[in-house]
Amino acid sequence: MTVQTDAPTAAAQKTETVHVTHLADHERVNFKVVRTITLQALWDESYKELKIKKEPRDVFQAPHKPNPTDLMPYLALTLAQAQEKGLCKHQFEIAAGTGGA
């Protein structure tokens, strides 16, 4: 007989420290998240940790050379999924969006 539990798997409970930099304000925070957090939730939590208001043109990205990786199309992915796809590691940036008129 197999016993089922509602307890999350060890992989789902695994946490890691992420580092988020707000490029316009030169503020940086480090905080722990579960690897199952979505990039959207991670981005939202970043504003709380930074104590900064989200601006309509802000974008979420991962630093890479020579150009950062735009994470906006991937906000529904979990941190683990985004890492597996090579989109990010544990460092993130909030930058002002460009474009317009």
Q: What is the pLDDT of residues 78-101, one digit of tens each?
A: 999 999 999 999 999 999 876 655
- What's the token pair of residue 78? 């979990």
Domain segments of the chain as ranges:
15-96
At 11, the pLDDT band (50, 70, 90 cuts) reads low
Cα separation of 62 and 89, whole Å? 8
Tens digit of each residue's pLDDT (9 = 90 or more) over 20-36: 999 999 999 999 999 99
Average pLDDT of the chain, as a whole number: 89
Would you state the pLDDT for residue 9?
A: 56
Q: Is 83 exposed, middle or buried (0-12, 13-18, 19+ CB in 10 A)?
A: middle
Give the CATH fold of the 15-96 domain. Ubiquitin-like (UB roll) (3.10.20)
Residue 5: the pLDDT is 46
